[in-house]
Every structure is written in C-alpha cells, then in structure tokens.
Amino acid sequence: MQPLHRTCLILIALVALGTSVNAQQPYRNKPTSPTAVSKLAKSIPPPHPTMQHYSGGRPSGTARAPLTYAPGYARSSGAATKKYTWKKNIVTTVFWVGEKPSPRNPRSNVKSSWDTKWMSNFGGYDNPDKSKRTFDFCPKGFTPRQNPFYCALPYNDVASWNKTKSEARHMIPWFGNHFKKPGKTVLKGRWVAIHYNGKTCFAQWEDVGPFRTDDWSYVFGNSRPLNQSNNGAGLDVSPAVRDFLGLRSGERCHWRFVDLHEVRPGPWKKYGDNNHFVVPQERERELEQAELDRLKRLRDQHLRGR
C-alpha cells in the first residue's frame, strides 16, 4: 500500500471515530440543570401508541391505585404515554345479551347502547344457565357471531347518534387515534383485563352500565363508582367471563384497560366478527383459499395446454 493511501485511510478512520465519540457525548454528559433537562425532554418525540408498555402485574391488596393521568391529560392527538392502572375491588354483576328487564336490571339487553340489534348480531340469546352453556364458554345451540367475553362500564361517549360528549376528547386516552365522526363511539370493542381470585380473563367493552352512563371520573380516573345500586356495582360481565373466573354476581374483582398486544391467549380470542383476533385469521384463510384457487387454475391451464 502506498504511504499516501495509508495516510488517507488513517485520516478517514480518525474522522469516523471522532464522529462516533461526539454522537455518544450527550449520553455520557447528562444535563443537570432544569433548563437543560426540559430542552432534552422536548427534543424526544412521543412514543407511537402501539409501542407503549403497560403494567401487567397481578394486582394485590386493597389500596387505591395511584393516579396515572389526570383528567384532561389525553390530548386530541391520542398520544397516551401513561399506564392503565387496575381499578381494585369493584363490585361486579352479571348481565347477558337478551336479558329481560327486572327489579335489579330495569333495562332490556336485547339492544345495547351502541347496537340496536345487539341480540340479532350476537346470534341469539346468551343463556346464563350453566347447564345451557358449552365447555368453551358459549351458549348451546348456536355459535356466537360476536365475542361471548364482553362487559359493560358506566360511561357512554356519545349522547345521541350524531353527538359526541364534550368531555370525551379530554378523558379517553385513545380518543384521537380512533375518533371518526360525532356520534360514533370510540369505546365499543375496547379490551379489558378482569382479575378475580388468582385468574385473569379478557373481555370487550360492548355496553354501558351498570345503571349509569356518565361516570368518566371512575372509568378513566381514580374515583370510586358513582352508582349506589347493587352495593355500588361498577362493572357488568357476561356469563362467559363469570364462568371462566368462577365468580358469582356481586363479588369484587379488579379490572383495567389493555392494548391488543397485552391480550393473552384464551377462549376470548376464538369467536366473533367484532373480535380483533378472529377477523385477521378469517382474512388470512380467505387469502390462502384464493391463492390455492389460483394455483389450481394455473395447473388446469397447464394440463389443458399439453
């Protein structure tokens, strides 16, 4: 190698080394003044919502969960950077699709707050009688067209079919990412983890209740449920959730919101055209069948051309 070439290579290596050292310098010399910290924090872009991490440990004790985001935290951009915490020791009651009015449940569940044809779209009556249910937590006699693992919470983000409540934008952490138009809910289908007696299952938010539709300070904040009926119930769950957890109506459990990547494998992933984990599988099967049909046509064309 010529001396000039060797000298050039050494210079290039030194320049690259200096660039690397300078690039690492901000991490070695951390800012100490409040102004420097503020500038550094503002320079870091917010994480993408799908890359957030939420606390998934098993809840314990009876202490109230710490505040994770204050009312008004969720911006219209939908960039929620805080964790969803457990709502602990919440009185939980059981309800079901097709339930008729009663003293304890004055409203029929043939339709939901977001679906006027809920029972029809579900596929039939979700009979709560345990002798009328299958081993995989479904009603006997039909395959449910929607996820049998569902729940209700006492807040509705829409006031009518064409109006969204004014506080919804500020209270719902994922509002900005899912809002489409006024009167279109961003809550329906949201996944919830429910923990009872050492077991955790997952369900989709499909109706509003028990009893109230305005309790955002409990659903999205740290307040206890405003409802005083049924011993202050703050969560309704389906027969499938009841049977999986082995709970009785009126007992207390813990719950929190979860993102899709937190939903563990289980029977809640098996059924429903409203189920995020079923629709992709069906689409994948459709694509596989279409590709198989295409290959068969090519084979037949090849055979005819012989």
Distance CA 91, CA 104 (A): 14
Output the CA torsion sign for 182, 188, 190, 194: positive
26-82 per-position pLDDT tens digit: 333 343 444 443 443 444 344 333 333 333 344 444 333 333 333 333 333 333 435
User: Which residue is associated with the tokens 């049998």?
Assistant: 148
Tell me the pLDDT tens digit for each residue of 117-171.
999 999 999 999 999 999 999 999 999 999 999 999 999 999 988 899 999 999 9
Backbone torsions φ then ψ of 163, nearest 5 degrees: -140, 130
Contact 238, 194 (CB under 8 A): no
Coil, strand or helix at 174: coil
What is the value of pTM for the model shown? 0.68
In 3-state terms, what secondary structure has residue 236? strand
CA distances in angstroms from 222 to 142, 174, 214, listed in the order given: 40, 17, 15
| Distance, CA of 125 to CA of 119 (rounded, Å) | 6
Which residues are within 8 A (CB) of 112 and not within 5 positions of it... i.e. 6 or more apart? 118, 206, 207, 208
Q: Whose structure tokens read 């911006």?
A: 75
- Residue that is written with structure tokens 């915490």 in the block: 85
What phi, psi does 102 have (nearest 5°)? -155, 170
